[in-house]
Structure 1
Amino acid sequence: MGKGNKEGTSKQFRWTKPTEHLFLEILVEEAQKGNKPSNTFKAVSINRVAEVIFERFQVQCDAKHVENYLRTIKNQWQIICTIRGESGFGWDDYMKMIMCDRATYDSIVMTHKKYEPFLNKSIDHYDEMTLVVGKDMATGSFARTFVDIDLDDGNQDSVPIDCDNEETKEVITKVSSSGTSKRKRKIAQESVVDE
């Protein structure tokens, strides 16, 4: 008899890449349906993941396994958010990758070994994780895309901007020059990563 299992079962459930992918795929659907009213999923969503994994892979997956793995994903997400919040790290939105130079990588991995899987490597299922465990993400009926937002709402409180005003030109110049320096820094960071 297996440790902590019911009689007659001796095999532990193991998460594999295909089951992880299915787990995230289902929970994204559930979040979009509105079954994640706060920071947790409804029991029906957790049970659905376990049932679909059993049906597709013919392995016994319980709600407890799903809840434990959801905790693991939340811990990974917390690490990702912590790293992205620290200085010295860049973000490649196309590759879904936290970037840093070799010196930063070596020093941070010495003090925080758990950061290593998320540095200078594409983060698998980043967008799905954002929906499943991200706290600031709207779900269900509250989720809106740019297409859903009516920009021409006839807002009477809006004030037209006088673009010929000297103060406006000064602000535009400051904003555009700060954008240029950000681009120069990004290009410099990319060249360091390439080396």
Structure 2
Amino acid sequence: MTSNGKRSKHIWSKVEDAKLVEALLYLVETGWRSDNGTFRPGYLQHLERILHEKVPGCTLNQNTIECKVRSLKKQYNIVSEMLSQSGFDWNEEFKCVQVEREIFDLWVLSHPNAKRMWNKPFPHYDDFSTVFGKDRVVGKSSEDPYVMATNAFREFEDEIRLGSQDCQTPEVRQTESPLNQDEIDEEPAEQSTGRASVPAKSSRGSKRKRPSF
């Protein structure tokens, strides 16, 4: 606990990560996961007990474990969604999503939660396919990712120009604005879009080979 009374964030070790994955797989195998993909009440207590047994000196509590499980599930969904697009591949050597940087940057415009997943290893993805969801299907997207990314970028530019619920510029009020009247009446200069060019589609990297269960 820190000096201001807040609990310090627990930094998970690789051993704790690995044992948590093993424990989650064990719960799935022993019927703790429901048909809708969620775990039955009481699963956190079992995870806590297993981790305390498997990890020497483990002090993890159920709240910390629950936060970690939610974070892992969120990352799994992000990775799974990217890999469902035909232009995204899995790098088996580095255990991360493989995609050209330009396409990733454009993808992030419409999927901001994925911005930290660039070249980020996610070593237990195969196990999480069992824990959190169905195996992914690569290459089933009906729209080319280059087209999707370009359209998303154009939509983002349109939102800036026209104003949307998230990007709308608030109405200037005389009593609240620090600008003088000349600045308010001045017609805004045309903004450069700085649109990134989409490179020619390159050959895809080697796909991940799904291990047999």
Evaluate the alpha carbon distance shift between residue 18 and residue 117 of structure 1 in structure 2; reply closer, same or farther with a 3 A threshold: farther
SS of alignment partner, residue 79 of structure 1: helix
**Equivalent position of 2:205 in the other structure:** 190
Change (3 A) 1:13 1:93: closer
SS of aligned partner of 2:15: helix
Give the residue type in structure 2 aligned to 1:190.
G
2:50 is aligned to 52
Q: Distance in 2 between matches of 1:131 and 1:83?
A: 18
Matched-pair contact (CA < 8 Å) for 1:13–1:59: no
| 1:92–1:84 Cα change, 3 Å | same
Correspondence list, 1:80-119, <5 A: 80-92=79-91, 96-109=95-108, 112=111, 114-119=113-118
- Range moving further from structure 2, 12-21 or 100-109: 100-109
Going from structure 1 to structure 2, the CA distance change for 1:12 and 1:107 (only over 3 Å counts) comes to: closer
Structure 1 residue 129 corresponds to structure 2 residue 128: yes
Aligned mates of 2:6, 2:91 — CA distance in 1: 43
Partner of 2:75: 76
Asked whether the equivalents of residues 73 and 133 of structure 1 are also in contact (C-alpha less than 8 Å), the reply is no
SS at match of 2:204: helix
1-structure distance, mates of 2:122, 2:84: 16
**Helix, strand or coil: the match of 2:68?**
helix
1:133-152 correspondence runs (5 A)? 133-134=132-133, 136=134
Superposition deviation, residue 123 in structure 1: 2.6
1:16 aligns with 2:31: no
The aligned residue for residue 26 of structure 1 is 23
| Aligned equivalents of 2:81, 2:126: Cα separation in 1 | 17
SS in 1 for 2:97: strand
Does structure 1 conserve the Cα–Cα contact (< 8 Å) formed by 2:87 and 2:204?
Answer: no
TM-score, with structure 1 as normaliser:
0.55
Percent of aligned pairs sharing the same letter: 23
What's the CA shift for 1:44? 4.1
- Superposition RMSD in Å: 3.3
Q: C-alpha displacement at 1:80, in angstroms?
A: 1.1
Q: Is the 8 A contact 1:90 1:189 kept in 2?
A: yes
1:67-115, Cα deviation, whole Å (9 max, x unpaired):
1111111111121122123453234567654221243234445665643
8 Å contact from structure 1 (residues 51, 61) kept in 2: no
Matched residue count: 137
Give the Cα separation in 2 of the matches to 1:115 and 1:103.
14
Distance in 1 (CA, whole Å) between partners of 2:68 and 2:120 is 22
Determine the C-alpha separation between the residues in 2 that align with 1:125 and 1:22. 11
Counterpart AA for 2:47: V
Give 5+ residue unaligned stretches, structure 1: 6-10, 138-186
Q: Which residue is 1:177 aligned to?
A: none
Q: Which amino acid aligns with 1:53?
A: L
The one-letter amino acid paired with 1:76 is Q
**Aligned 8 A contact 2:96 2:123 in 1:** no
